[in-house]
Chain A
Amino acid sequence: MTLTAPTRAPEQRSRPRRVLRAGSVSATYRLRQLVVPLATVVVLLLAAAISMGRGDYPISIPQVLGALVGLGDDTQRFIVTELRAPRIVAAVLVGLALGMSGALIQTFARNPLASPDILGVNGGAAIGAVSVIVFAGTGTTAAGVLGGIGLPLAALLGGFVIAFAVFGLAWRKGVDGYRLVLIGVGLSAMSHAVVQYLLTRSTIWDAAAANVWITGSLNGRGWDDVLPLALALAVLVPAALALGRVLNVLQFGDETARGLGVRVPLAQGTVVVVAVALAAFAVSAAGPIQFVALVVPQIAVRLTGGSRPPLIASGLLGALLLVASDLTARTVLTEAFPVGVVTAVVGAPYLLWLLVRGRRRSTL
């Protein structure tokens, strides 16, 4: 009689891998990792089409599609292509950028609470933007216009400066994720103190405008706001996807990653630059929408399975969350309701549900 238990598989759902072959190249994947992004795209397109039809002037989905290809009357075309489309495209791009940025940062820091907010992007962007709002003038119309022109750039620069200050302070021949998060929390708190100070120096109208910006809003976004973001994403999204292979190995920690031939400091630096740039461009276009980068990657990894937040699914789910939140803000609530409030209301219960239901621990 033997007392040792035979080796057998732990009681776990098996996740069969499938293999895709093309000549000598093969790739293994799991079905869920394909189905989740595809389903998200379908729902996203549907949500975007519905969103373009909804508002003070309702337009049916066929008419929306017609207007997009140049059919229909002038009013419909104007409303769809000039008023609603840029706002919805902005929502898609901002959500995509925030979702991917969060997935990069959380994988890199090996911490599900890490996000570009923690790295100081939001705090820095808020300093830049609120400075423009407050210092651009005394609240006159001319000063408001002036502020409007300079604001996205100021927010972009502010986000970059604080994020790289965090990264620089955390750097010691490479970056430890825990240290990065702690320093980020500290500098973010300082940034928000500066913003609060600026608000006390401002007029009540400036303070109101600043508060809307700080909450994150897509109100009144036009093609001028979308273009810089679209150009940035054309570079940053491929860069982020190219990092996927190295992220797989960075996840093991510095020593194992170096053992597998990764130049760890270089890889870490690249991941942070891409993640910060994604978030900073998103924030400069729509303000610091707090919730998306933090929670969407966690939702994505619970839907797809796997060992780290998937980049593509995180981006697509971020886009879907923002479009759905914007639709909610515009139709269920009032037109002026900032989308940043809704993302939390829509996304948080969903994450809680996944957490309560799933057996996965809340660590990476």
Chain B
Amino acid sequence: MTALDTPTTTPTDRVRLAAERVRLAYGEKVVVDDLDLQLTDGSFTAIVGPNGCGKSTLLKALGRLLRPTAGSVLLDGRAITSTPTREVAKVLGLLPQTPLAPEGLTVADLVARGRHPHQSWLRQWSSDDEAVVAEALRWTDMAELADAPVDALSGGQRQRAWISMALAQGTDLLLLDEPTTYLDLAHQVDVLELVGRLHTERGRTVVVVLHDLNLAARYAQRLVAMKDGVLVAAGTPAEVLTEQLLADVFELEARVVPDPVTGTPMVVPVRRLR
């Protein structure tokens, strides 16, 4: 047992995070309405959909960054907005789309900040925290870069550093908003491999917003497709990624063939439908 192991045991059907008839709005503008979603323990879910469909908004609500104007988000059966935010932070970690690291911050300092919810005036930085941070750095292959400033890293390394911080936070659940944005394909694969290992080796329950359908189908066990703030389909990648759905949701004519490497569905675009 290493310092990073969380209390999670084998995956169960227990619902960890759920949206119940949520309506999400920015001011007057309703982005998501009457949406239901359940995320079970140990699952790996990717939310997909066209730009502006409300998938990042939904992820914000699941991570209690946005308060629903109707309905509620339940974390382990309890309304997330009425749970103390520090308690939530011990169970649920999140990575915003373009997180900001202040200039001059080293990777080790960044990862150490992940321990914030576990510390207080009575419980300051401890050797336990130190061990967790060292293990998180090692596990994400960032140990050699521990003393490098985050702003000097490449895009892929920077994303690994943030994932390392999320790992050090030690939460069962992890929400990631487009973690592969601005990365080249090799680094996209690299980041998703890492997230996949968090799921398989560390038992994390992962929810990720992704643009690339083929990568989503390859790494996630479950896809959730959204359009215009409505949940259109949810299920295994094979169930969700059909030629009909691509036409309906993405307005895209495409062939769906088995991925020659993993056998998961692979989308080959033909042309845009209008």
B partners with A = yes
- CB distance A361 to B127 under 8 Å? no
Contacts A12-B148, A259-B94, A260-B116 given; indicate if A301 touches B63 (C-beta within 8 A). no
Residues of A with C-beta under 8 A to B94: 255-256, 259
Given contacts A259-B65, A261-B90, 4 further A-B contacts (CB under 8 A): A9-B148, A21-B127, A258-B85, A261-B85
Interface residues of A in 260-316 (CB under 8 A from B): 260-263, 301, 305-308
Q: Is B141 an interface residue (CB 8 A)?
A: yes
Interface residues of B in 100-148 (CB under 8 A from A): 100-106, 108-109, 112-114, 116-117, 119, 121, 124-128, 130, 141, 144-145, 147-148
Contacts A248-B113, A258-B85 given; indicate if A7 touches B126 (C-beta within 8 A). no
- Give the contacting residue for A110; candidates B102, B145, B153; CB below 8 A: B102
Residues of B with C-beta under 8 A to A361: 103
B194 to chain A, nearest CB (A): 13
How many contacts A-B (CB < 8 Å)?
121
For this complex, 23 residue pairs linking A to B, each with C-beta atoms less than 8 Å apart, are A10-B152, A10-B153, A12-B152, A17-B106, A17-B147, A24-B126, A25-B124, A26-B126, A110-B100, A251-B105, A252-B102, A255-B60, A255-B99, A258-B64, A259-B94, A260-B117, A261-B85, A261-B117, A262-B85, A263-B85, A307-B103, A307-B104, A361-B103
Residues of A with C-beta under 8 A to B106: 15, 17, 307
Residues of A with C-beta under 8 A to B95: 259
Contact mask for chain B residues 72-110; partner A; CB cutoff 8 A; 1 contact, 0 none: 000000000000011111100111100111111110110
A81 to chain B, nearest CB (A): 39
- CB distance B89 to A255 under 8 Å? no
Q: Is B196 an interface residue (CB 8 A)?
A: no
Contacts A10-B153, A252-B99, A253-B99 given; indicate if A301 touches B104 (C-beta within 8 A). yes
- CB distance B89 to A360 under 8 Å? no
- Which B residues are within 8 Å of any A CB, using their own CB? 60, 63-65, 85-90, 93-96, 99-106, 108-109, 112-114, 116-117, 119, 121, 124-128, 130, 141, 144-145, 147-149, 152-153, 157, 169, 186
A213 to chain B, nearest CB (A): 37
- CB distance B147 to A14 under 8 Å? yes
Contacts A252-B100, A255-B96 given; indicate if A26 touches B89 (C-beta within 8 A). no
Distance of A217 Cα from B91 Cα, bound (Å): 54
Distance of A305 Cα from B60 Cα, bound (Å): 34
Distance of A10 Cα from B156 Cα, bound (Å): 13
- CB distance A255 to B116 under 8 Å? no
Contacts A10-B148, A10-B153, A12-B152 given; indicate if A260 touches B127 (C-beta within 8 A). no
Distance of A262 Cα from B85 Cα, bound (Å): 7
- CB distance B108 to A360 under 8 Å? no
- CB distance A9 to B144 under 8 Å? yes
- CB distance A28 to B103 under 8 Å? no
Residues of B with C-beta under 8 A to A262: 85, 116
Residues of A with C-beta under 8 A to B153: 10
Interface residues of A in 333-364 (CB under 8 A from B): 360-361, 363-364
A137 to chain B, nearest CB (A): 51
Distance of A26 Cα from B64 Cα, bound (Å): 32
Residues of B with C-beta under 8 A to A110: 100, 102
Distance of A305 Cα from B106 Cα, bound (Å): 10
- CB distance B102 to A364 under 8 Å? yes
> Which of B60, B94, B104, B145 has the most A CB atoms < 10 Å from its CB?
B104
B60 to chain A, nearest CB (A): 8
A166 to chain B, nearest CB (A): 23
Contacts A15-B106, A307-B103 given; indicate if A261 touches B148 (C-beta within 8 A). no
Residues of A with C-beta under 8 A to B147: 9, 14-17
Distance of A15 Cα from B149 Cα, bound (Å): 9
Q: Is A27 an interface residue (CB 8 A)?
A: yes
Residue of A with least CB distance to B133:
A28
- Give the contacting residue for A7; candidates B96, B108, B125, B144; CB below 8 A: B144
In the A-B complex, the 5 residue pairs with the closest CB atoms: A261-B89, A307-B105, A261-B86, A261-B117, A10-B152
Residue of A with least CB distance to B145:
A9
Contact mask for chain A residues 1-43; partner B; CB cutoff 8 A; 1 contact, 0 none: 0001001111010111101010011111000000000000000
- Which A residues are within 8 Å of any B CB, using their own CB? 4, 7-10, 12, 14-17, 19, 21, 24-28, 110, 242, 245, 248-249, 251-253, 255-256, 258-263, 301, 305-308, 360-361, 363-364
A87 to chain B, nearest CB (A): 36
- Give the contacting residue for A26; candidates B65, B102, B105, B130; CB below 8 A: B130
- CB distance A12 to B149 under 8 Å? yes
Residues of B with C-beta under 8 A to A14: 147-148
- CB distance A28 to B112 under 8 Å? yes
Residues of B with C-beta under 8 A to A363: 103
A44 to chain B, nearest CB (A): 25
Distance of A245 Cα from B114 Cα, bound (Å): 12
- CB distance B116 to A27 under 8 Å? no
- Give the contacting residue for A256; candidates B96, B103, B145; CB below 8 A: B96
Residue of A with least CB distance to B64:
A258
B153 to chain A, nearest CB (A): 7
- Give the contacting residue for B128; candidates A8, A24, A256; CB below 8 A: A24
- CB distance B116 to A307 under 8 Å? no
- CB distance A249 to B127 under 8 Å? no
Distance of A139 Cα from B100 Cα, bound (Å): 55
Distance of A271 Cα from B186 Cα, bound (Å): 42
Distance of A56 Cα from B223 Cα, bound (Å): 82
A132 to chain B, nearest CB (A): 41
- CB distance A308 to B102 under 8 Å? yes
